[in-house]
Structure 1
Amino acid sequence: MSTTTAPAPSKPPSQAAQDPPAWKRFVHTPTAGPVLALLVASTFFSFQSDQFLSGGNLALVIQQIMVVGTLALGQTLIILTAGIDLSCGAIMAFGSIVMAKLAAEGVLPPLVAIAAGIGVCALLGAANGALVTFVKLPPFIVTLGMLNIAFALTHIYSDEQTVTQLPGELTVLGDTFPMGSTDISYGSVLTIVLFLVFAYVLGQTAWGKHVYALGNSPEVARLTGIRTARLRMTIFTVAGVIYGIAALLLVARTGVGDPKAGQTDNLDSITAVVLGGTSLFGGRGLVLGTLLGALIVGVFRNGLQLMGVGSIYQMLITGVLVIAAVAFDQISRRKQRS
Structure 2
Amino acid sequence: MHRYPALSPAIVLILAIIVFGLLNERFLNPANLSLITQQVAVVGTLAIAQTLIILTAGIDLSVGAVMVLAMMVTAQITIETGMPAILGLLLGLLVGLAAGAFNGFLVTKLRLPPFIVTLGTLNIFLALTLLYTAGATVRGGEMPDLLTWSGTTFNIGGVNFTTGVLMMLVLYFAIAFILNNTSWGRHVYAVGDDKEAARLAGIRVNRVLMSVYLAAGAILAIGAWIQIGRSNAASPNASGELNLDSITAVVIGGTSLFGGRGTVWGTLLGALIVGVFRNGLSLAGLDVLWQTFAVGVLIIVAVSVDQWIRKVRK
In structure 2, what is the equivalent of residue 20 of structure 1?
none
Matched, 1:207 2:184: yes
1:1-338 equivalences under 5 Å are: 28-164=3-139, 165-337=142-314
Map Cα deviations across residues 173-202 of structure 1 (whole Å, 9 max, x no partner).
Answer: 101012232221110011111111111111
Structure 2: gaps spanning 5 or more residues: none
Give the deviation of 1:107 after TM superposition: 4.3
The alignment partner of 1:50 has SS state of coil
Map Cα deviations across residues 146-196 of structure 1 (whole Å, 9 max, x no partner).
Answer: 101100000000011112211111001101012232221110011111111
In structure 2, what is the equivalent of residue 8 of structure 1?
none
Distance 1:323 1:296 in 2: 15
Distance 1:120 1:95 in 2: 6
Distance 1:70 1:180 in 2: 24
Letter of the structure 1 residue corresponding to residue 305 of structure 2: F
Letter of the structure 2 residue corresponding to residue 203 of structure 1: N
Distance 2:82 2:200 in 1: 49
Answer yes or no: is the 8 Å Cα contact 1:90–1:263 preserved in 2. no
Answer yes or no: is the 8 Å Cα contact 1:274–1:290 preserved in 2. yes
Letter of the structure 1 residue corresponding to residue 237 of structure 2: K
Distance 1:131 1:70 in 2: 24
Please provide the CA RMSD for this pair. 1.2
Distance 2:156 2:62 in 1: 36
Distance 2:155 2:20 in 1: 25
Map Cα deviations across residues 233-264 of structure 1 (whole Å, 9 max, x no partner).
Answer: 00000000001011111111112220111132
Letter of the structure 2 residue corresponding to residue 72 of structure 1: A
Answer yes or no: is the 8 Å Cα contact 2:33–2:159 preserved in 1. no
Map Cα deviations across residues 72-97 of structure 1 (whole Å, 9 max, x no partner).
Answer: 10000000000000111111110010
Map Cα deviations across residues 63-120 of structure 1 (whole Å, 9 max, x no partner).
Answer: 1111111001000000000000011111111001000001112342111001101210
Larger-gyration structure (1/2): 1
Structure 1: gaps spanning 5 or more residues: 1-25
Distance 1:312 1:160 in 2: 26
Distance 2:81 2:64 in 1: 26
Distance 2:290 2:152 in 1: 32
The alignment partner of 1:105 has SS state of helix
User: What TM-score does the superposition give when structure 2 sets the normalisation length?
Assistant: 0.97
Give the deviation of 1:306 after TM superposition: 1.5
Give the deviation of 1:54 after TM superposition: 2.7
Distance 1:332 1:238 in 2: 28
Give the deviation of 1:326 after TM superposition: 0.2
What fraction of aligned residue pairs are identical, expressed as a percent? 48
Distance 1:146 1:269 in 2: 17
The alignment partner of 1:274 has SS state of helix
Answer yes or no: is the 8 Å Cα contact 2:27–2:33 preserved in 1. yes
Aligned residues: 312
Distance 1:300 1:264 in 2: 14
User: What TM-score does the superposition give when structure 1 sets the normalisation length?
Assistant: 0.90
Letter of the structure 1 residue corresponding to residue 26 of structure 2: Q
The alignment partner of 1:220 has SS state of helix
Distance 1:38 1:175 in 2: 27
The alignment partner of 1:279 has SS state of coil
Give the deviation of 1:203 after TM superposition: 1.2
Answer yes or no: is the 8 Å Cα contact 1:100–1:166 preserved in 2. yes
Structure 1 residues 120 and 264: alpha-carbon distance in aligned structure 2, compared to 1, 3 A threshold: same
Answer yes or no: is the 8 Å Cα contact 1:67–1:249 preserved in 2. yes
